[in-house]
Structure 1
């Protein structure tokens, strides 16, 4: 049963932002755009070190009282490694493409993310953020598309939001065709074939390794040492990306109403408390969407610098992480079929 349509919001005329991309860039200290190989590598090495330490502790204790704690901690570190690979995908890890690709694969392959396949689709997301017709991920469904969806598809899309990332890698999201593992997918250009194949092969080898170790030590080993942390990692990834782009107050645009900077500002910063440093301040997301190649360790400085320029256009949630999630989960289902500037509306399955 569908809920009644929410109150109509008058559609304002298309108005350009009162500042330009250059205005924002000039407000940021120049060093924020520079990456350091040593600093970037230090984050990667530290994350790997913590992952190894946690495995040693878990293996030594081998206690069912500790395994759930281990899963939560190790899954969070898997998520931190993903963020390091995320910087590699944007080229903000270093100026060297070969190093970005190497660390990107070392960060993403162990957590079964096809680095190049993800990198390319994520590039599409950043180029089209806030565009209801062309954004790649976490965009709301139009009213007509929602009415065409089967109940099961709606359930997975709207009720299983913290577990859908593996499915997205294989199937993308409603209205988008292709897979992140096939170089012939519409996601990719012909020139990107070998990049995609390389990452697919790496993930296949990782699955083979996990299969071999499971054969040697049993399915319980897989659950304790890998599946537990992996599920927590997926939940972190889905939670954070959902919160960045899912809020009833975030506008979505169509046609000439959209351009890059307006779309980039249709995202929200969130405060994750002590987790901020662990997952490399990925919650500082507005500045990241404006300047994709800015290293994560400069985002906080850049954000403080651009706040006076952005003014009311800068969005940071005043809600706790749980409240913000519930707010988006209950209210962000569909957008109207028409309108240059639209907002999410709630529905019931």
Structure 2
């Protein structure tokens, strides 16, 4: 569809929305209904099997237990070189496996683990508290992310900064136009350091202080503050329950440190925990931050358009351990209650319906990350379709 044709065919349906950036880039705004997409997927893909879901929990904890058991022998090696190699191998592998456990807890929050709400909530509390995630607190805000994916003022995670927020002059008065802008120039070393800071600490800081979420005027917007604007009064006890779950796990870790020593807890649990943080931030960032996809404002956004602003990517063998959260994420955004073990099949049918509006990026992960990190800096203050610029 040419820019002129899109303006004639689509713009009237959008009631005069400002889509100049979409027209300039030749980006087409689809008009599929959610019913069209759902009807293309076999009904059995929406069926949830509690026993099957539990088998994945058993699978992940078995792998984590085997890795833990093997790691208990690492310090028995006399060679320092062997120990220095073996511990990082354990940390990386345990981080990968525990990310899979996190994904299963996330599925509980979406009611995709079981058809029974109480099973989802019990298992979600157990799995996410184990990984220091406030289950209900995050479940509530994550639900808002799914309901508002790609919306500039309603989405909850990796919300783009605007031109004004990064301190640039208006586009009309900006001598560097759409960029690249000198204020974003930095050495590769500095970029890597910035990445390390976000990938190691970004997830806990998001939970504690709403990093990368929508800006709020209150003093402490946090998943650990039941009084903040993220929650309603009815959700107060859900947040308290979540805090108690995390506090219980911290107490267990503290007790373990008094019995086995703090260093043991750090080596066996804390370091793999930070590797889980790495995978969560990396996967989520690349799913929703890409220069080829825009964000929408009110004049264009609807649920199905927002859900399609998601990029599927493959991480190779890690897709297996991460329960395909990365390469079937488009399907997950359209139908979040669908269990992960049906998502690959559903993706095939969604691709047929969406056609060119389905986005899969085969770019190697490290290259995609570098590209997005260097180019996804800000969007314009105005416009109903806005693309990342640098």
Find 1:176's aligned residue among 215, 229, 232.
Answer: 215
Structure 2 spans left out of the alignment, 5+ residues = 1-18, 76-82, 169-183, 185-190
Query: Is residue 208 from structure 1 mapped to residue 221 from structure 2 by the alignment?
Result: no
Q: Is the 8 A contact 2:288 2:311 kept in 1?
A: yes
TM-superposition CA deviations, 1:165-202 (whole Å, max 9, x none)? 10000000354341111211211111111111111011
**Change in 2 beyond 3 A, CA 1:11/1:270:** closer
Structure 2 partner of 1:325 = 369
Query: Is residue 277 from structure 1 mapped to residue 316 from structure 2 by the alignment?
Result: no
Length-normalised TM-score, structure 2: 0.82
Q: Is the 8 A contact 1:158 1:329 kept in 2?
A: no
Find 1:92's aligned residue among 112, 122, 132.
Answer: 112
CA distance in 2, matches of 1:140, 1:231: 25
**Change in 2 beyond 3 A, CA 1:222/1:82:** same
Structure 1 partner of 2:198 = 161
Query: Is residue 219 from structure 1 mapped to residue 262 from structure 2 by the alignment?
Result: yes
Query: Is residue 40 from structure 1 mapped to residue 39 from structure 2 by the alignment?
Result: no
Query: Is residue 66 from structure 1 mapped to residue 77 from structure 2 by the alignment?
Result: no
Q: Is the 8 A contact 1:21 1:261 kept in 2?
A: yes
Q: Is the 8 A contact 2:32 2:304 kept in 1?
A: no
Query: Is residue 79 from structure 1 mapped to residue 99 from structure 2 by the alignment?
Result: yes
Query: Is residue 108 from structure 1 mapped to residue 131 from structure 2 by the alignment?
Result: no
Find 2:271's aligned residue among 216, 220, 228.
Answer: 228
TM-superposition CA deviations, 1:236-270 (whole Å, max 9, x none)? 00010011001001110111211111110001000
Structure 1 partner of 2:230 = 187
**Change in 2 beyond 3 A, CA 1:268/1:157:** farther
Query: Is residue 296 from structure 1 mapped to residue 335 from structure 2 by the alignment?
Result: no
Alignment coverage as a number of residue pairs: 335
TM-superposition CA deviations, 1:108-155 (whole Å, max 9, x none)? 11110000011001001001100011110012111111229xx9xxx9
Query: Is residue 262 from structure 1 mapped to residue 305 from structure 2 by the alignment?
Result: yes
Structure 1 position 66, deviation (Å): 1.0
Q: Is the 8 A contact 2:21 2:387 kept in 1?
A: no
Structure 1 position 332, deviation (Å): 0.7
Q: Is the 8 A contact 1:35 1:295 kept in 2?
A: yes
Structure 2 partner of 1:51 = 64
Structure 2 partner of 1:3 = none
